[in-house]
Amino acid sequence: MKLLASLLLLLPFAVQSQTPAPQVIAVANLATAPKVDGELGEWGGSGWIKVPVKPALEREERAKYGLDPAGERNVAGSLTVELKAGVAAGRFYLAVRYPDDAADTVHKEWSWRGDKYQRENQLEDMFAVRFHLAGDFDRTMLSTKEYKVDVWLWSAARTNAGGIAEDMTHHVTTKLQESAAEYQVKDGPVIYITKRRDEGVAPYEMLPRPKENKGERLASFAAANASGSVADVAAKGVWKAGRWSLEFSRALDSGHADDVALKPGARITGQIAVFNKASAEHKSVSEPLVFDFGAVK
C-alpha cells in the first residue's frame, strides 16, 4: 500500500457520527472590487462570519488509519476563522482572518551539514478552500462516496510572493486509480485519493539537492511565472500582530472544465482548512459550508 504524502494536503475533513446543518456564507454584491493584498480594511469591521475549525482527525480516528495517534504535528488546534465573501465585476472575493502566533514563511530549506545538504523540516503556514465540483460530496476525504472538489491552496512561502493560490482538483473514489494515495478502511474498501494541479505552469518548482556548498541555507524551491488554469486564483496573505489576513479572488466562471462555476443564485458546498506550519493530515478544518450566491446579480 502506498502512502504519498504530497497527495494528502486536504486529507480527511474530520469524521463524526452526526453531521450538523451546513453553515451558510452569504455572498454579497460589493460596491467596488477589493484589492487582493491581504489588507482587509476595505471589508469593514462588521458582518464577519465566524467559522470554527478543529483538528481534522481525533485520536481514535488517527489510530484507525495508521497515523500518529496524538497528532502532535497539528499545532493549530481548535480556533475560529472569520470570513466575508462578495462579488464585484464578475469576480468572487473571499476575505479570511484568523489567529496565528507566528508567521511561518520558510518551507523545507536545504541546510549544509558536514559535507552535503540536507532538507530541513520547517513547514509553512497554509490555508485551503475547497468547493464541491462533481459527485456525492462528503465532509471527509476518507469516504466511500465518489466525488471531486475544486481546491484553492494558499501557502505562506511558496505561493504568497506570487500573489496566487494553487488551483487543484482532488478526486476521492473506491475505484482503482493510478498514482493515487491508497487507504484501507477497516472492514471496508480501499479509498483512492488523487490530487492534481490544474493545467498550466505551476507557481513554483522544487529544486534538487545542490552538489556544492553555496551557503549554509538555501531555498528548496524557486518561484515561477504561473499561468493557465492552475493560476486562476489570486491570493495574498499578510501576518500582523498574531493574525493572518488573507484575500482570494477568482472569476465567477473561469472557463476551465477543472474549476467550479460560481453562478449567481447558486448554493455551493465548500470547506476551509488551516495549516499551522503543517501539511497532510496535520491541519484543522471546518464543517461543510454553503456559499450562498442567491443575492448576486
Identify the band that residue 33 occupies on the pLDDT scale cut at 50, 70 and 90. very high
Q: Which of 7-16, 178-187, 198-207 has the highest mean pLDDT?
A: 198-207
Tell me the per-residue pLDDT of 138-158, one tens digit each, with 9 for 90 and over.
887 778 899 999 999 999 999
Please compute the mean of the pLDDT values over residues 225-232 and round it to a whole number.
96
Tell me the per-residue pLDDT of 281-291, one tens digit each, with 9 for 90 and over.
678 999 999 99
Please compute the mean of the pLDDT values over residues 275-280 and round it to a whole number.
82
DSSP 167-203: EEEEEEESS--TT-EEEE-TTS-EEEEEEEEPSSB-S
Judged against a pLDDT cut of 90, whether residue 110 lies above it is answered with: yes
Vertex 245 angle, CA 240 and 250, to 5°: 150
Please compute the mean of the pLDDT values over residues 112-123 and round it to a whole number.
94
Half-sphere exposure of 110 (CA within 13 A, CB side): 19
Q: Which residue did the predictor score with more confidence, 138 or 131? A: 131
User: Which position has the grid cell 549544509?
Assistant: 112
Output the nine-digit C-alpha cell for 151.
481546491
Judged against a pLDDT cut of 80, whether residue 113 lies above it is answered with: yes
Residues paired with 136 in a beta bridge: none
CA-closest candidate to residue 271, choices 289, 258, 255, 257: 289
Q: How far apart are CA 41 and CA 283, in angstroms?
A: 28
Which run of H or E residues covers position 288?
Answer: none
pLDDT of amino acid 152: 98
Judged against a pLDDT cut of 90, whether residue 187 lies above it is answered with: no
Specify the CATH number of the domain 5-15+22-292. 2.60.40.1190
Judged against a pLDDT cut of 70, whether residue 84 lies above it is answered with: yes
Burial of 211 (0-12, 13-18, 19+ CB in 10 A): exposed
For 111, the 3-state DSSP assignment is strand
Please compute the mean of the pLDDT values over residues 229-237 and round it to a whole number.
97
User: Which position has the grid cell 491508497?
Assistant: 182
Identify the band that residue 7 occupies on the pLDDT scale cut at 50, 70 and 90. very low
Other CB atoms within a 10 A radius of the CB of residue 295 amount to 13
The percent of residues in the chain predicted with pLDDT above 70, rounded, is 87
Other CB atoms within a 10 A radius of the CB of residue 269 amount to 18
Q: How far apart are CA 261 and CA 255, in angstroms?
A: 8
Q: Which residue did the predictor score with more confidence, 245 or 174? A: 245
CB distance 56 to 271 below 8 Å: no
Question: Which amino acid does the sequence have at 160?
Answer: N
CA distances, 135 to each of 167, 171, 201, 224 (Å): 19, 9, 27, 33
Question: Which amino acid does the sequence have at 87?
Answer: V
Tell me the per-residue pLDDT of 37-82, one tens digit each, with 9 for 90 and over.
999 999 999 999 999 999 886 654 555 555 555 555 667 889 999 9
Whole-structure pTM value: 0.88
**What are the boundaries of each domain within the chain?**
5-15+22-292
